[in-house]
Amino acid sequence: MTRFIARRLLLAIPTLFGVLVVAFLLLYVAPGDPVEAMVGERADSATIARLRAELHVDDPLPQRFAHYVSRVAVGDLGRSYITNRPITQDIRERFPKTLQLAGAAMLLATVLGITLGVLSARRPGGLADRFALGIAYLGISFPVYWVGLLLILLFAVTLRWLPPSGYGSLRFLVLPALTLGMRSIAFLARMTRSAMLEALNADFVRTARAKGLGEWVVTLKHALRNALIPVITVLGLDFGAYLTGSILTETIFSWPGIGRYVVNAISRRDLPAIQGTVLFLSTVFVVVNLITDLAYAKADPRVSYD
């Protein structure tokens, strides 16, 4: 197991290097210029020239890349062109908030999604199944933006149960987490349902029932565990996606996370901020994938990495 983890982490280094190369090249060919954003509308050509020289934006690409990689290798992501703050500090401030939101969304998705899926599978076509189907409908077909605004309108503006936006106590977390998790709830419910239906018809379930085990024990202990592999895959992928920036949700709910940070950085061509965040988020994705793979082994003893 340890060897497996070590090997995966080592393999991540060339992956991340590749990500950096691509990010660098993309930013190089994209139109726009960080100095444009620094000087504002009314500028002066001498100021622009001086800033360009100071930021080395006109140096040859390989030289800039080599310089950047050498800094990254010692853990320095540089300072933002626009705010002059260290990128690592910016990420440190924002990522925990994104993590909190993604975690809450995944928690909701896991609890609600799997529960709905299990209930649906126990009596296909029943009331629970139809309800779950309705939820799945909404979650998959409604755009995040719309869901978010509707939730704000209903729970914040009309009912005044929850704050419309912002970051703070647990009450601030509910609506954005629900908005973000909606799609996962829907997906997981459908995924769990079909995996459960298959498992419930399998021979080992009949055997379990024949042994005289209770219906809930059969469902949860025998069927669900076997249905979990595809569910974990979905969970892992969604979690990775949420962690790397739930841009729309963060924007609607004024959630000060990493998604909004990276969008702002892109619109201002703040190269160190974009590159630093891309690198950091790629690392996060690699780690989440690794954890997902390890979870397979935990859920299914037949999967082994030794």
User: Interface with other proteins by CB under 8 A: which residues?
Assistant: 30-33, 35-48, 50-51, 54, 82-85, 90, 93-94, 125, 129-130, 133-134, 137-138, 149-150, 152-154, 156-158, 160, 163-167, 251-254, 256-257, 260-261, 264, 267-269
Nearer to other proteins, 82 or 287 (CB): 82
Nearer to other proteins, 152 or 228 (CB): 152
Provide the Cα torsion 64, 65, 71, 72; round to 10°. Answer: 150
3-state helix, strand, coil in the chain (%, to 5): 75, 0, 20
The residue to which tokens 């025998």 are assigned? 222
Provide the Cα torsion 82, 84, 85, 90; round to 10°. Answer: 20
CB of 20 to other proteins, least distance (A): 23
CB of 163 to other proteins, least distance (A): 7
Nearer to other proteins, 12 or 144 (CB): 144
3-state secondary structure of 58: coil
CB of 34 to other proteins, least distance (A): 9
CA distance 64 to 176: 39
Nearer to other proteins, 82 or 202 (CB): 82
Residue 79 has phi, psi (to 5 degrees) of -115, 150
CA distance 86 to 93: 11
> Which DSSP symbol is given to 111?
I
CB of 254 to other proteins, least distance (A): 5
CB of 11 to other proteins, least distance (A): 34
Nearer to other proteins, 144 or 218 (CB): 144
Nearer to other proteins, 240 or 259 (CB): 259
Nearer to other proteins, 238 or 250 (CB): 250
CA distance 159 to 151: 10
Terminal Cα distance for the chain, rounded: 6
CB of 33 to other proteins, least distance (A): 5
3-state secondary structure of 274: helix
CB neighbourhood size of 222 (10 A): 19
CB of 90 to other proteins, least distance (A): 7
